[in-house]
């Protein structure tokens, strides 16, 4: 459980970025919106509960809204 937040943030962001590279249709775009919602909530809650230091440093400046940029 010690690395749960770190592992889940890594996995979700990496999957979302991979999906963003090549969304094949409306379903994948919908999944990307879901990733955005989940990642945003996790990052906001980590900050609110004072555990943002548990988030991997490579994601400290990550902006979830970037997932939705350049979507048609």
Determine if residue 63 is left, alpha or beta; phi over 0 gives left, psi from -120 to 50 gives alpha, anything else beta. Answer: beta
**Does residue 72 fall inside a structural domain?**
no
Residue 18: per-residue pLDDT: 94
- Per-residue model confidence (pLDDT) at position 1: 58
Flag whether 31 is in a domain: yes
Give me the domain span that covers residue 36.
4-67
Q: What is the pLDDT of residues 12-71, one digit of tens each?
A: 999 999 999 988 899 999 999 999 999 999 999 999 999 988 888 999 899 999 999 877
For residue 29, tell me if it sits in a domain. Answer: yes
The yes-or-no verdict on residue 2 having pLDDT over 90 is no
Alpha-carbon distance of 30 to 44, in angstroms, equals 21
Q: How many independent structural domains does the chain possess?
A: 1
In a domain, 63, yes or no: yes
Q: Classify each residue of 36-47 as buried b or exposed e, where b means 16 or more C-beta atoms within 10 Å of its C-beta.
A: beebeebbeebe
Q: What is the pLDDT of residue 72?
A: 59
Q: Indicate the pTM of the whole model.
A: 0.88
Residue 23 pLDDT: 81
């Amino acid at each position: 459980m010690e690395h749960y937040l770190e592992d889940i943030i890594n996995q979700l962001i990496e999957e979302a970025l991979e999906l963003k590279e090549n969304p094949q249709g409306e379903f994948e775009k919908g999944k990307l919106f879901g990733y955005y919602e989940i990642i945003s909530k996790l990052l906001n809650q980590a900050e609110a509960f004072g555990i943002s230091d548990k988030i991997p440093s490579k994601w400290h400046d990550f902006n979830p809204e970037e997932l939705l940029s350049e979507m048609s």
